[in-house]
Chain A
Amino acid sequence: MRPPSKLRRFYESADQVVVTDKDSPPRLMFFGEDFLVEDLPIGTKVIFPNPPVAGLPNVKAAIRWAINHPEGCDPLHAQLRPGMKVTVAIDDISLPLPPMRTPDVRQLVLEVVLELLADAGVDDVHLVIAIALHRRMTGPEVRRMVGDRIFEAWWPDRLYHHDAEDPDGLISLGATEHGEKVILNRRAAESDLVIYVNLNLVPMDGGHKSMSTGLTNYEGVKAHHGPHTIRQSWSYMDPPQSALHHSVDRIGRLIDQNLNVFHIETTINNRMFDGPLAFLMKREEEFTEMDRLKLEGLRATLHALPKGARRKLLQSVPAPYEVIAVHAGRTEPTHQKILEASYGQYMVDVDFQADVLVYGMPYISPYNVNSVLNPLLVQVMACGYFFNFYRGKPLVKKGGTLIIAHPCSDEFDPVQHPSYIEFFHRLLPETRDAVALEQKYEREFAENPTYVHMYRTGNAYHGAHPFFMWYWGENGRQHIGRIIVVGADNEHVPSLMGWETASTLSEAIDMARLAHGRGAEIAMLHFPPIVMTQNPG
């Protein structure tokens, strides 16, 4: 028979919010390309992810059903006619994270759609990877995403990247009632039908954001990614409360008035790891001896490897995500259904706001697949994405303390992030003020011919991208009073970002308690995998 204390823990384990007590095990935290195992103070509320929602048993059947039973429009086959011009836009490598095990859901959708187009006699078809200002993918990355058969047949003549700097490849559709410029990929705009093949990793993705962001240029992105818009977005994961999404929706509606867009939206569960790394999906209470051994083995291996090899090792593990929903049709009703599925996977109800919020920073973000999570991207994850993993009230109180764990090495990838280097080392020492940076330097970077060349012919993010990364953390920076980074291997990177440092988590918590008192409420978002909170207040 279980002793009473175990019984209590058993009861709590059914809840996603676990209150730390004296018997609680230390918690596993991401620490860049490493992991930390840390004890948390008694009373800390640890918010665990929901278990993975069951995947669809037959994804291709679900795709066929969705395009035959679309939301708010005729089925796809009924919209096709021989000789028409069709553009299929596809989300890029920025999601899911880590990249999913093959076949990627985009490959599955494309296989169904391209067969349907061929059967309908539609020959003028281009596949455009909707990268916006993201980097171009490498050939092997594209091959992995769409599969060998499609890659061999379509790349690079009819399967290619959107080019946000091709003056002849863009067209203006005018402006919204709020003055937002609507600029779109010309091929898509001049098509009889655009089919957008999307993957929602989190509720921020998809909907109008797909077309209005993925297929536009710098001016188009600038319309909704500026610091003022970001400061009014509470949160990105809650579109009705996000000024960013309001703007994107206005642009998207104008696009829908001008173009026939058929969305095929998909979303996945949170099964980020399995096999030898399946223990990363468990609560520490459920760890077996073998799981502890695996964890120690993984940490010992990572410690023994040089940084590059460590990165390669971690990034080479694909995620066993499963597709949990596929819907198709007009933008808004389709996206609404996908949002419901996504919320069902990620949202954990909470009824409190913490004084101190703790989370570990992973090795990957949407912008460093097969690359380094540089300091600017650490900031994006800390103040942008993870802070915004909520609906209703933020998990941390206004003016609260955020504690993150990451080495914050001063390391950048000159191939993927050349403009980040200049942004970080030349601009941040001058100011961290997002508005000042926007007004003084953003256009200079956007119109730097070297960065534009690297974006267009190499695998570099656009020159203006680091600005949008900095703005992306703006709502987090406005809300959070103080950020303490645990385990930084230098002082200047945290200092440039306005962060304090602590060598251990307990030291960071002591620092936070000095401000918030001994009774400070502490919460931890337990990654991996993804977890979000909802607190309607």
Chain B
Amino acid sequence: MADNRKAAFFDVDGTLVRTNIVHAFGFYAMNQGTLFGTAWRTAKTVASLPFLWAADQANRKVFNEVFYRFYEGQSEDRLLTLADELFEKVLRPAIFPGTEKLLAQARRFGCRVVFCTGALDFTVRRLADHLGADDLIANRMHFIDGFATGRVVPPIVEGAHKAVAIRDFCGREGLALGESFAYSDSFSDYPMLSVVGHPAAVNPDIRLRSVARAYEWPVISTQEA
């Protein structure tokens, strides 16, 4: 049980599941309800991949802002309805074998389990419930008249803002940052890892692995049970 003193903050994509936000969007693009709509969305997404890749390399914040534009015009009902299917078909099979063990350990030792992700909240809500997260810090899509505007409700949860979000969360909930844990796979989450007392790199990319070695952060894997 959580003792209201410490939390464990988990990035989701690449840390707990092998998918990322592109997989989620790809799922939506391929489930547009009409054949033409599906083909158009899919083609548009595929054509944009090189640009998205370049944006991600340059700046995760730019990538997120550009990427979420792709949701523009989607109906809220449809996004929410498809979220269940997204979980069952895409996310659930992609959960790493060691994920549940890692989360169980955090819970067993009194940590509030908090997912902190740049993904959209409706795409990871079911996953968070399934894995027993106590809280979810995620991006929220802006809707007008039931349709997505393609803009995320600020502040966008990514990079440095994840650290701010975590600090605010701890302040609000009376948690000790210095006693809390953070887990991520990506160098872009360096601020989130730095802000807590016990960071760990999970299945890290090369840059994060290098940083983890330099700062003597533990490097763990969720890819094995």
Q: Which residue of A lies closest to B8 (CB)?
A: A449
B22-30, B33-41, B99-107, B114-122: which lies at the interface: B99-107
| B residues less than 8 Å from A451 (CB atoms) | 218
Knowing A449-B102, A449-B109, A449-B181, say if A457 contacts B216 (CB, 8 Å). Answer: no
The answer to whether A167 touches B224 (Cβ under 8 A) is no
The answer to whether B200 touches A458 (Cβ under 8 A) is no
Distance (whole angstroms) from the CB of A117 to the closest CB of chain B: 28
Knowing A414-B213, A457-B225, say if A452 contacts B105 (CB, 8 Å). Answer: yes
The answer to whether A414 touches B218 (Cβ under 8 A) is yes
| A residues less than 8 Å from B109 (CB atoms) | 447-449, 452
Partner of B220, one of A422, A425, A447, A453: A453
| Residues 412 to 470 of chain A near chain B (Cβ within 8 Å) | 412, 414, 418, 421-422, 425, 447-454, 456-458
| B residues less than 8 Å from A421 (CB atoms) | 216
The answer to whether B216 touches A458 (Cβ under 8 A) is no
The answer to whether B218 touches A457 (Cβ under 8 A) is no
| A residues less than 8 Å from B94 (CB atoms) | none
CA separation between A422 and B219, bound complex, in Å? 13
Partner of B219, one of A167, A412, A414, A449: A414
The answer to whether B219 touches A457 (Cβ under 8 A) is no
Knowing A450-B181, A453-B98, say if A165 contacts B105 (CB, 8 Å). Answer: yes
Q: Which residue of A lies closest to B212 (CB)?
A: A414
The answer to whether B102 touches A453 (Cβ under 8 A) is yes
| Residues 209 to 224 of chain B near chain A (Cβ within 8 Å) | 213, 216, 218-221, 224
| A residues less than 8 Å from B8 (CB atoms) | 449
What size tier do the contact residues of chain A reach?
10 to 19
The answer to whether B98 touches A449 (Cβ under 8 A) is no
| Residues 184 to 225 of chain B near chain A (Cβ within 8 Å) | 198, 200, 213, 216, 218-221, 224-225
The answer to whether B216 touches A422 (Cβ under 8 A) is yes
Distance (whole angstroms) from the CB of A391 to the closest CB of chain B: 40
| B residues less than 8 Å from A448 (CB atoms) | 109, 181, 198
Q: Which residue of A lies closest to B182 (CB)?
A: A450
The answer to whether B220 touches A450 (Cβ under 8 A) is yes
Q: Which residue of B lies closest to A414 (CB)?
A: B219
Q: Is the contact region of chain B dominated by helix, strand, or loop, or is it mixed? A: mixed
CA separation between A458 and B103, bound complex, in Å? 16
CA separation between A5 and B101, bound complex, in Å? 70
| Residues 104 to 148 of chain B near chain A (Cβ within 8 Å) | 105-106, 108-111
Distance (whole angstroms) from the CB of A466 to the closest CB of chain B: 13
What size tier do the contact residues of chain B reach?
20 to 34
Distance (whole angstroms) from the CB of A491 to the closest CB of chain B: 20
Q: Which residue of B lies closest to A424 (CB)?
A: B216
CA separation between A113 and B218, bound complex, in Å? 40
Q: Which residue of B lies closest to A165 (CB)?
A: B105
The answer to whether A457 touches B106 (Cβ under 8 A) is no
Knowing A165-B105, A449-B105, A452-B105, say if A457 contacts B181 (CB, 8 Å). Answer: no
Contact with B along A360-393 (1 / 0, CB 8 A): 0000000000000000000000000000000000
Knowing A414-B213, A456-B101, A457-B98, say if A450 contacts B108 (CB, 8 Å). Answer: no
The answer to whether A450 touches B218 (Cβ under 8 A) is yes
The answer to whether B224 touches A454 (Cβ under 8 A) is no
Q: Which residue of A lies closest to B106 (CB)?
A: A449
| A residues less than 8 Å from B216 (CB atoms) | 412, 414, 421-422, 425
CA separation between A425 and B216, bound complex, in Å? 10
| B residues less than 8 Å from A422 (CB atoms) | 216
Knowing A449-B181, A450-B198, say if A458 contacts B102 (CB, 8 Å). Answer: no
Distance (whole angstroms) from the CB of B182 to the closest CB of chain A: 10
CA separation between A456 and B224, bound complex, in Å? 10
CA separation between A4 and B100, bound complex, in Å? 76
| A residues less than 8 Å from B198 (CB atoms) | 448, 450
* Residue of A418, A447, A448, A457 ringed by the most chain B CB atoms within 10 A: A457
The answer to whether B108 touches A167 (Cβ under 8 A) is yes
Distance (whole angstroms) from the CB of B30 to the closest CB of chain A: 34
The answer to whether A418 touches B106 (Cβ under 8 A) is no
Q: Which residue of B lies closest to A446 (CB)?
A: B109
Partner of B101, one of A414, A418, A447, A453: A453
| Residues 475 to 496 of chain A near chain B (Cβ within 8 Å) | none
| Residues 499 to 516 of chain A near chain B (Cβ within 8 Å) | none
Q: Which residue of B lies closest to A419 (CB)?
A: B218
| B residues less than 8 Å from A412 (CB atoms) | 216
The answer to whether B213 touches A457 (Cβ under 8 A) is no
| B residues less than 8 Å from A454 (CB atoms) | 218, 220
Contact with A along B30-71 (1 / 0, CB 8 A): 000000000000000000000000000000000000000000
Distance (whole angstroms) from the CB of B217 to the closest CB of chain A: 9
Distance (whole angstroms) from the CB of B106 to the closest CB of chain A: 4
Q: Which residue of A lies closest to B108 (CB)?
A: A167
CA separation between A452 and B104, bound complex, in Å? 11
Distance (whole angstroms) from the CB of B195 to the closest CB of chain A: 16
Distance (whole angstroms) from the CB of A405 to the closest CB of chain B: 27
Distance (whole angstroms) from the CB of A351 to the closest CB of chain B: 48
CA separation between A413 and B181, bound complex, in Å? 22
CA separation between A425 and B200, bound complex, in Å? 17
The answer to whether A453 touches B108 (Cβ under 8 A) is no
CA separation between A454 and B98, bound complex, in Å? 11
Distance (whole angstroms) from the CB of B18 to the closest CB of chain A: 16
CA separation between A132 and B110, bound complex, in Å? 23
* Residue of B98, B105, B200, B225 ringed by the most chain A CB atoms within 10 A: B105
CA separation between A456 and B109, bound complex, in Å? 15
The answer to whether B101 touches A458 (Cβ under 8 A) is no
CA separation between A167 and B101, bound complex, in Å? 12
| B residues less than 8 Å from A449 (CB atoms) | 8, 102, 105-106, 108-109, 111, 181
Residues of A bordering B, CB below 8 Å: 165, 167, 412, 414, 418, 421-422, 425, 447-454, 456-458
Give 22 CB contacts A-B under 8 Å: A167-B108, A412-B216, A418-B218, A422-B216, A425-B216, A447-B109, A449-B8, A449-B105, A449-B108, A449-B181, A450-B183, A450-B200, A450-B220, A451-B218, A453-B98, A453-B102, A453-B105, A456-B101, A457-B101, A457-B221, A457-B225, A458-B221
Question: Known pairs A422-B216, A448-B109, A457-B225. 14 more at Cβ < 8 A?
Answer: A412-B216, A414-B216, A414-B218, A414-B219, A447-B109, A449-B108, A449-B109, A449-B111, A450-B181, A453-B220, A454-B220, A457-B98, A457-B101, A458-B221
Q: Which 3 A-B pairs have the closest CB atoms?
A: A449-B105, A447-B109, A449-B106
